[in-house]
Chains A and B, each alone.
Chain A
Amino acid sequence: MAKTNGLRRFSTSAAGRAFMALVLVFVVGAIFNADGAFFKIGTHRDALRQASVYGILACGLTLVIISGGIDLAVGSVLALVAVCCAKMAIHWGWSGWLVVPACMLVGSVSGGLSGVVAAKLRVQPFIATLALMVAARGAAKYFSGGMKVSTAVKSSSGSYDYVDVPALFRAVDTRILGDNVSMVTVIFLICLGFSWLALAKHSWGRQLYAIGGNEEASRLSGVPVVSAKICAYAASGVLAAVAGICQGAQEQQGDPEAGAGYELIAIAMVVIGGTSLSGGRGGMGLTLLGVLTIGYLDKILSINAVPEAGRLMLTGVIIVAAVLTQRRRES
């Protein structure tokens, strides 16, 4: 009796539903396996690799969404940091040990800025982060001079010198465990781990849940609402910076146009996982399920060479279906 009760509770819970969605995607992949490609370990490694950058963004977004906000700027901050990272590592020749903290600083300042505007000046988060989205994209284009920052460095004579790919990039865009796991996947899992720790085990995480659930009641209970929120946006910025470093390393260049539209995919991953957009409910485990679901779905469409139009329609339908099944519980 207890066992079936537990099973029923799991299957109707948010985690259960997200898990079943992922299982469904796996079943689809097994059926449409593109001449067995779905069963190769390389395909899984690649599916995880391509989902990882989005996944890192989704971690930061989970923190912000649970606190009742939203962050539309993560794609642009990713680009800004990719540009900065490439400039620092390639053009200025800084070592990775300096580049990474510097980039994370850029990310935290950007995120902190939208946090101050949203939490202290009480501008709607949608608007505040939309403004940063535009500003950061502009900054990325400005620092890069409008062109990709690559290993082809223009010398004073007008010709191009070719610099080696920096060690930082090679370290990030590599594979470990006998070629079966991409480093960026490991980075994603590390980011996921830290975010989970903060959310589930730290009092700041509890504060975020409380603020997202009922901001006024939290304030009256002594929760430092403004500073907790600013930290959430700053964290999202830092994670967007990590994503930017990974993106730059994988392209071996800093592209100011990178990350366009990534925020929407990351938000979709969070939502499909089961975290509520209105705040107060959700978690990192759910986001992981959402990342895997969308990541694998994308891979299955890719190995089957489904034409673009079909991919867009199918992805849209699945997102709507996932959100609808979520709603049944909340009603």
Chain B
Amino acid sequence: MKPNHIRSLAFAILSFLSLLANGCSDPASKSGNESKADGENRVYTIGMSQCNLGEPWRVQMNEDIKNAAAKHSNLKVVFKDAQNDTLKQRAHVEEFVSSKVDLLIISPKEAQPLTEPVAKAIQAGVPVIVLDRALLGDKFTCFIGASNKKIGKAAGEWIVKTLGGKGNVVELMGLQTSTPGQDRHSGFLEGIAGSDIKIIFSADMKWLEPDARKEMESALSRFEKIDLVYAHNDAAAHGAYLAAKASGRTGIKFVGIDALPQEGVAYVSQSILDATFEYPSGGAEAIDTALKILKGETVPREIILGTRLFDASNVRQGGQELK
């Protein structure tokens, strides 16, 4: 019947338009391949495919890339957000290749479905830097990522040092069905191996602050002596801090991970957390590596980022780098 057809047509048009609108680039940078050949001062266009901007940490990654690129007048970055849709991200990669960008940076949603489009980009002569999540095989130029295991281990080592080798620790874990959660746990165990640190209570708080607060309350009611809380992210550490504060329990130290400037670092500055470890987004390194690639230098296949420690002693100086 006619009305049904008109309705589906209108719906199709609206979806198409919204797809267009979403695929549109960040207004801060211009779209397309307007690389002006300006003699020696050639402006390079870099395409950045982000899998989603729902997580604040990824928003930070884009910010880091933008800030790093702003320092170089010969770089123009075009951002595309795939809104956590793998197929959309594939399409974005293909769009970048066909508009002949000089380099592609991608933070993939999943390894398997994006390996081939990236391989095709390499074939077409576009160098590709992969951030944060690895692809399969080796058809990309460079992978830059952090190691949650390393971070967990660094946290463990710092905790051993700070507690003098022994103490009761509560571990508030991220989603244990996800790799980051598992790695931050196994890394931590490595870091405290051989010491007298005891994990007296551990719970899966699913990365959520209210859940972390709830589990911390349970720990507080069970155990008289808690020396330190190791939480897999800063939000959980914050929740645990509030729980302890409300119960009037003092003397507990709080350690988190992620170190976003307005969250973890801010908490350390306000003496809410005793330490936090940066989960580097790799944005700045990506731009540095991109410049090297564009100049024609060779770069390592894999760059594993270190972390930065932020604690009371160094937070004002921007933390301390740990390799």
Minimal Cβ-Cβ distance residue in A for B207:
A257
Q: Tell me whether A43 is interfacial, beta carbon within 8 Å.
A: yes
Chain B residues in 8 Å Cβ range of A10:
none
- Distance to closest chain A CB from B229 (angstroms): 15
- Fill in one digit per residue for A281-302: 1 if any B CB lies within 8 Å of its CB, else 0: 0000000000000000011001
Residues of A300-322 at the interface with B, using a CB-CB cut-off of 8 Å, are 302-303, 305, 307-308
Q: Tell me whether A113 is interfacial, beta carbon within 8 Å.
A: no
- Distance to closest chain B CB from A258 (angstroms): 8
A160 vs B220: C-alpha distance when bound (angstroms):
32
A40 vs B247: C-alpha distance when bound (angstroms):
13
- Distance to closest chain A CB from B210 (angstroms): 7
- Distance to closest chain A CB from B140 (angstroms): 28
Chain B residues in 8 Å Cβ range of A34:
218, 222
Residues of B207-226 at the interface with A, using a CB-CB cut-off of 8 Å, are 209-210, 213-215, 217-218, 220-222
- Distance to closest chain B CB from A170 (angstroms): 11
Chain B residues in 8 Å Cβ range of A147:
56, 59, 262
Check B270–A162 contact: CB distance below 8 A: yes
Q: Contacts A152-B266, A160-B266; is A252 near B242 (CB within 8 Å)?
A: yes
Q: Tell me whether A91 is interfacial, beta carbon within 8 Å.
A: no
A141 vs B210: C-alpha distance when bound (angstroms):
19
A264 vs B21: C-alpha distance when bound (angstroms):
33
Q: Contacts A162-B270, A179-B248; is A148 near B218 (CB within 8 Å)?
A: no
A43 vs B247: C-alpha distance when bound (angstroms):
11
Q: Tell me whether B47 is interfacial, beta carbon within 8 Å.
A: no
Binds A, one of B102-110, B122-130, B198-206: B198-206
Chain B residues in 8 Å Cβ range of A215:
none
Q: Tell me whether B263 is interfacial, beta carbon within 8 Å.
A: yes
Checking A37, A150, A307 against B263 with a beta-carbon cut-off of 8 angstroms, the contacting residue is: A150
Chain A residues in 8 Å Cβ range of B176:
308
Minimal Cβ-Cβ distance residue in B for A147:
B56
- Fill in one digit per residue for A8-50: 1 if any B CB lies within 8 Å of its CB, else 0: 0000000000000000000000000011010010110010011
Check B270–A250 contact: CB distance below 8 A: no
A251 vs B218: C-alpha distance when bound (angstroms):
17
Q: Tell me whether B32 is interfacial, beta carbon within 8 Å.
A: no
Checking A152, A160, A302 against B218 with a beta-carbon cut-off of 8 angstroms, the contacting residue is: A302
- Fill in one digit per residue for A130-170: 1 if any B CB lies within 8 Å of its CB, else 0: 00000000000100001110111010000010100000000
Chain B residues in 8 Å Cβ range of A251:
209-210, 238-239, 242
Q: Contacts A34-B222, A146-B59, A302-B203; is A160 near B261 (CB within 8 Å)?
A: yes
Q: Tell me whether B291 is interfacial, beta carbon within 8 Å.
A: no
- Distance to closest chain A CB from B85 (angstroms): 16
Check B221–A152 contact: CB distance below 8 A: no
A42 vs B243: C-alpha distance when bound (angstroms):
12
Q: Tell me whether B53 is interfacial, beta carbon within 8 Å.
A: yes
Dominant SS among interface residues on chain B: helix
- Distance to closest chain A CB from B240 (angstroms): 12
Check B221–A40 contact: CB distance below 8 A: yes
Check B246–A50 contact: CB distance below 8 A: no
Dominant SS among interface residues on chain A: mixed
Q: Tell me whether B35 is interfacial, beta carbon within 8 Å.
A: no
Chain A residues in 8 Å Cβ range of B220:
42
Check A299–B218 contact: CB distance below 8 A: yes
- Distance to closest chain A CB from B18 (angstroms): 13
Chain B residues in 8 Å Cβ range of A49:
217
- Distance to closest chain B CB from A110 (angstroms): 21
Chain B residues in 8 Å Cβ range of A148:
56, 235, 262-263
Chain A residues in 8 Å Cβ range of B186:
none
Q: Contacts A34-B222, A37-B222; is A247 near B56 (CB within 8 Å)?
A: no
Checking A46, A162, A247 against B217 with a beta-carbon cut-off of 8 angstroms, the contacting residue is: A46
- Distance to closest chain A CB from B258 (angstroms): 12
Check B204–A308 contact: CB distance below 8 A: yes
- Distance to closest chain B CB from A71 (angstroms): 21
- Distance to closest chain B CB from A82 (angstroms): 11
- Distance to closest chain A CB from B133 (angstroms): 20
Minimal Cβ-Cβ distance residue in A for B200:
A305
- Distance to closest chain B CB from A313 (angstroms): 14
- Fill in one digit per residue for A88-126: 1 if any B CB lies within 8 Å of its CB, else 0: 000000000000000000000000000000000000000
Check A46–B56 contact: CB distance below 8 A: no
Residues of B239-274 at the interface with A, using a CB-CB cut-off of 8 Å, are 239, 242, 246-248, 261-263, 265-266, 269-270
B contact residues vs A (CB 8 Å cutoff): 53-54, 56, 59, 176, 201-204, 206, 209-210, 213-215, 217-218, 220-222, 235, 238-239, 242, 246-248, 261-263, 265-266, 269-270
Query: Which 10 residue pairs across A and B have the least CB separation, nearest first?
Result: A152-B266, A46-B217, A302-B218, A308-B204, A303-B218, A37-B222, A152-B262, A43-B221, A37-B221, A50-B214
A-B contact pairs, 10 of them (CB 8 A): A42-B221, A46-B221, A50-B213, A50-B214, A150-B263, A150-B266, A251-B238, A305-B203, A307-B204, A308-B176
